[in-house]
Amino acid sequence: MGILNYGTVANWSKWWSFKDIFGKHYKELAQFNKPIMITEFGCLKVGGNRNQWFSEALRDLPQKYPLVKSIVYFHFSDDNTTTQQALNWYFLNDKATIHSIIKETSAWKN
């Protein structure tokens, strides 16, 4: 499953929280009682606070969504698959986002 927040980059998109994109569907997915892998996990900067988005998404994720067993970050700087302009999902140089990711995932129990 892919979880990508496009923010307000296009007229068809808006700022969605992780809960908006994934949370309201989790109960339905959990009925299969199978591990869930998030294969594209990302957020653009346009239209909101990206580091806050990651922080809220990752905070207590194992407790809220225990069937999520794997997350693959979508970390690509030249994505031209959805819009006419290339989108930059790259966050490695965004210190606030990196801090949020490390802080929230460090709190997870192993």
Sequence spans of domains, the chain: 2-106
Tokens read off for 108: 């997870």
36-80 pLDDT tens trace: 999 999 999 999 999 999 999 999 999 999 999 999 999 878 787
21-38 pLDDT tens trace: 999 999 999 999 999 999
DSSP, residue by residue, 46-110 = TTS-HHHHHHHHHTTHHHH-TTEEEEEE---S-B-SSSSSPB----TT-HHHHHHHHHHHHTS--
Mean pLDDT (whole number) for 82-106: 90
- What CATH number was assigned to the domain covering residues 2-106? 3.20.20.80
**Model pTM score:** 0.90
